[in-house]
């Protein structure tokens, strides 16, 4: 297939929080690499995205923060759009589903299917919160997953086993609004009968895309189709979203999974109007190649449900490919927005200014293309220091510095080419095809390493030829060596753009290319005999990458460790309240201030310390299970709270005559309930 144009979509991010590295690795970096590559090839590309602002997560976030849903979407739409722009994600249009063009497009889409009798209208029983007096959207319900037993599954999906659910499937469901147990109540909705499209999906996916779709995508689709498809509601009882545009739809909105993918179409319309183009060929012409970039949690929606919607509508093309990635973990743990276990893009841009390409490269080189992968800050540092700095940056800096040192920055005239020169230049010409082969098959991780191999080629060539030594004995040979090295650097400047756009721009500025005098595209790297002509003036060198120090990485690790401690405290189960006692019961307790005067380990006992405590009444022996938290020598002289009228008890043959009061901090470490106030003496009663 040689398409006339490409429509590239990237999953619409929810505006209930910022963008993190999982989103980037799964969707936006690979989509941007692919779009930039196609533009370099001279293709007609519409790279489309926008904010998904109608998900139930939005009103949930609004309730939590005590603001309106509109305040939430405006806040995070601004953060997300700015972050994408600063990170170099080259969308042709970034819209939002609250836009008027989207409301009209989604409403018109629904009405066409409604008028064609493509929906089933049914009254069903759904979960209703009587205290809140509202039907519960799937994310407002939590309960036990019927498939894996996970006790915190949502009403639409179990995040533990990945199963798609209905809220009524949950065992012991609870409302996340009030915490109450919901009841079943009858309501009317419209359903898309996915079972009608099983034969179409079998032919289109299971037969038509068996060999060209990624195994993880194909396998998930096959599993769904083999299990048998069922009608799925396209409307819901909610006050946030696009109103159902037909009679009887009062108080209901379009289900977000129905309206969100239509956002690709409405965003394309918005772009085309601004650019004076016709939007229709990008969605209706069979010569257009449509590609969806998504994460694996969106496979069902983009490969089964949205294509069924498009098929029912009848006017639109279907996606040629849906190269979904798996998930990216962070330092061995699953990324979590709610638990702040993430590297947020807007924070990265502040903490590592002008280092967008380092994160792009690290995420691409470790992309979760076929399985879940793990991002670690140490690997990020190693990718930067050992590859971008030591290989790519080192080669470019050598070439630019030596060119200025020997020829005042003017491309020298080559002399006789040796076999190595010819082989090196021929190898350079082969890289566009090598990279294209990776990118056309959506193997971006492989492509990033092939790009680095081009830098390795240049480094090895210079290391083998050693022009800094030859300049003393064979100036003519050095002219040829530097000419060849400059051609490799120019090839790098062009071919690196999809992966490292900011670096590519810097390198083009150093080489003084991109002007009308020296214009080079993707294909010219392989077709042109000379990329950088003799006599061309280059600019002084500048460092493309800087080394990342250990202290910077430790700062990020400390930040995550602090998050882990906060989460541990939040997750820590609070001890249930004990049975109520009377005041008379309380007055029976005789608690006094005491001082530990001696402490030693109990023989053959890992947890016990034998303490001598001055209680003001006497000095008594108390055996305490605190040996794993305290060294004996560290607590001598420590003031403590002592329950003195506890019945004595023998522990390992030693009679214990009281109890030291302790609690635990958020790390689970024992802490003394401490009476260390000035003027409080031993024997003082605690009332």
Q: What is the pLDDT of residues 350-367, one digit of tens each?
A: 999 999 999 999 999 999
Rounded to 10 deg, the angle between the 356-365 and 501-511 helix axes is 120
Beta bridge partners of 373: 328
Other CB atoms closer than 10 Å to residue 575's CB: what's the count?
7
The SS3 of residue 182 is: coil
What confidence score (pLDDT) does residue 571 get?
59
Band (pLDDT 50/70/90 cuts) for residue 163 is confident
Question: Could you give the CA distance from residue 6 to residue 277 in angstroms, rounded to a whole number?
Answer: 14
Other CB atoms closer than 10 Å to residue 619's CB: what's the count?
14
- Average pLDDT of the chain, as a whole number: 92
The SS3 of residue 309 is: helix
What confidence score (pLDDT) does residue 210 get?
95
Band (pLDDT 50/70/90 cuts) for residue 45 is very high
Q: Is the pLDDT of residue 167 over 80?
A: yes
Q: What is the pLDDT of residues 229-240, one digit of tens each?
A: 999 999 998 889
Rounded to 10 deg, the angle between the 501-511 and 475-495 helix axes is 150
What is the rounded average pLDDT of the residues 443-454?
98
Band (pLDDT 50/70/90 cuts) for residue 1 is low
Contacts of 208 (CB under 8 A, 6+ apart): none
What confidence score (pLDDT) does residue 629 get?
86
What confidence score (pLDDT) does residue 684 get?
63
Residues 445-448: contacts with CB under 8 Å, at least 24 apart: 445/364, 445/365, 445/366, 445/367, 445/369, 447/33, 447/364, 447/498, 447/499, 448/361, 448/364, 448/365, 448/499
What confidence score (pLDDT) does residue 162 get?
73
Band (pLDDT 50/70/90 cuts) for residue 114 is very high
Question: Could you give the CA distance from residue 65 to residue 276 in angstroms, rounded to a whole number?
Answer: 41
Nearest to 605, CA basis, from 587, 583, 627, 637:
627
Q: Is the pLDDT of residue 520 over 60?
A: yes
Band (pLDDT 50/70/90 cuts) for residue 681 is low
What confidence score (pLDDT) does residue 27 get?
98
Question: Could you give the CA distance from residue 101 to residue 174 in angstroms, rounded to a whole number?
Answer: 37
What is the rounded average pLDDT of the residues 103-127?
95
What confidence score (pLDDT) does residue 154 get?
87
Q: Is the pLDDT of residue 575 over 60?
A: no
Residues 601-609: contacts with CB under 8 Å, at least 24 apart: 601/627, 601/632, 602/627, 602/651, 602/652, 602/654, 603/652, 604/652, 605/652, 608/651, 608/652, 609/635
Q: Output helix, strand, coil percentages for the chain, rounded to the nearest 5.
A: 45, 20, 35
What is the rounded average pLDDT of the residues 601-611?
88
Band (pLDDT 50/70/90 cuts) for residue 673 is confident
Contacts of 617 (CB under 8 A, 6+ apart): 592, 644, 683
Q: Are 48 and 9 in contact (CB under 8 A)?
A: yes
What confidence score (pLDDT) does residue 669 get?
67
Q: Are 484 and 419 in contact (CB under 8 A)?
A: no
What confidence score (pLDDT) does residue 337 get?
84
Q: Are 11 and 84 in contact (CB under 8 A)?
A: no
Band (pLDDT 50/70/90 cuts) for residue 577 is low
Q: Which residue would you say has higher pLDDT here, 684 or 516? A: 684
Lowest mean pLDDT among 477-481, 528-532, 647-651: 647-651
Band (pLDDT 50/70/90 cuts) for residue 665 is low
DSSP 612: E
């Amino acid at each position: 297939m040689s398409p006339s144009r490409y429509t590239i979509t990237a999953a619409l991010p929810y505006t209930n929080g910022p963008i993190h590295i999982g989103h980037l690795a799964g969707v936006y970096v690979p989509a941007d690499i692919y779009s930039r590559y196609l533009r370099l090839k001279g293709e007609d590309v519409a790279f489309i995205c926008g904010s998904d602002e109608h998900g139930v997560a939005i009103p949930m976030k609004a309730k939590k923060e005590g603001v309106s849903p509109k305040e939430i979407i405006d806040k995070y739409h601004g953060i997300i759009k700015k972050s994408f722009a600063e990170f170099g994600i080259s969308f042709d249009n970034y819209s939002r589903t609250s836009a008027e063009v989207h409301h009209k497009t989604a409403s018109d889409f629904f009405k066409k299917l409604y008028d064609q009798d493509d929906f089933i209208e049914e009254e069903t029983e759904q979960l209703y919160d009587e205290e809140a007096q509202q039907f519960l959207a799937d994310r407002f319900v939590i309960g036990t997953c019927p498939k894996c037993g996970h006790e915190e599954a949502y009403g639409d999906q179990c995040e533990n086993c990945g199963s798609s659910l209905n809220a009524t499937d949950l065992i012991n469901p609870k409302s996340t609004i009030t915490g109450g147990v919901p009841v079943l109540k009858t309501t009317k909705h419209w359903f898309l009968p996915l079972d009608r499209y099983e034969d179409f999906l079998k032919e289109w996916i299971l037969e038509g895309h068996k060999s060209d779709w990624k195994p993880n995508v194909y396998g998930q689709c096959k599993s769904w189709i083999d299990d048998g498809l069922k009608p799925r509601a396209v409307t819901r009882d909610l006050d946030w979203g696009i109103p159902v545009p037909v009679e009887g739809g009062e108080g209901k909105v379009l289900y977000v999974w129905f309206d969100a993918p239509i956002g690709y179409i409405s965003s394309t319309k918005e772009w085309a109007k601004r650019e004076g183009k016709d939007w229709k060929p990008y969605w209706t012409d069979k010569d257009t190649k449509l590609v969806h970039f998504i994460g694996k949690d969106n496979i069902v929606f983009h490969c089964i449900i949205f294509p069924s919607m498009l098929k029912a509508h009848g006017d639109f093309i279907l996606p040629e490919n849906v190269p979904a990635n798996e998930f990216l973990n962070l330092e061995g743990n699953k990324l979590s927005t709610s638990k702040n276990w993430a590297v947020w893009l807007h924070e990265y841009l502040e903490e590592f200014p002008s280092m967008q390409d380092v994160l792009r490269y690290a995420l691409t080189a470790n992309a979760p293309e076929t399985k879940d992968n793990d991002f670690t800050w140490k690997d990020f540092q190693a990718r930067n220091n050992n590859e971008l700095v030591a290989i790519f940056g080192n080669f470019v800096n050598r070439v630019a510095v030596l060119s200025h040192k020997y020829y005042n920055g003017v491309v020298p005239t080559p002399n006789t080419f040796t076999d190595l020169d010819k082989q090196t230049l021929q190898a350079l010409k082969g890289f566009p095809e090598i990279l294209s082969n990776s990118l056309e098959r959506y193997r971006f991780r492989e492509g990033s390493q092939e790009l680095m191999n081009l830098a390795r080629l240049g480094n090895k060539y210079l290391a083998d030829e050693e022009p800094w030594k030859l300049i003393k004995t064979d100036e003519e040979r050095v002219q040829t060596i530097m000419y060849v090295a400059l051609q490799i650097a120019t090839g790098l400047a062009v071919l690196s753009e999809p992966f490292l756009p900011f670096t590519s721009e810097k390198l083009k500025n150093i080489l003084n290319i991109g002007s009308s005098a020296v214009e080079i595209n993707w294909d010219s790297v392989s077709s042109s005999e000379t990329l950088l002509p003799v006599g061309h003036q280059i600019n002084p060198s500048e460092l493309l990458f800087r080394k990342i120090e250990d202290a910077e990485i430790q700062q990020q690790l400390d930040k995550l460790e602090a998050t882990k401690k906060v989460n541990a405290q939040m997750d820590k189960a609070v001890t249930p309240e004990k049975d109520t006692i009377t005041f008379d019961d309380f007055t029976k307790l005789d608690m006094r201030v005491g001082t530990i005067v001696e402490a030693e380990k109990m023989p053959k006992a890992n947890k016990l310390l034998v303490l001598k405590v001055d209680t003001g009444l006497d000095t008594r022996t108390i055996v305490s299970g605190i040996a794993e938290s305290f060294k004996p020598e560290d607590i001598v002289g420590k003031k403590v709270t002592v329950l003195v009228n506890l019945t004595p008890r023998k522990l390992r043959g030693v009679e214990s005559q009281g109890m030291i009061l302790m609690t635990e901090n958020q790390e689970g470490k024992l802490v003394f309930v401490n009476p260390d106030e000035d003027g409080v003496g031993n024997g003082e009663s605690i009332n």
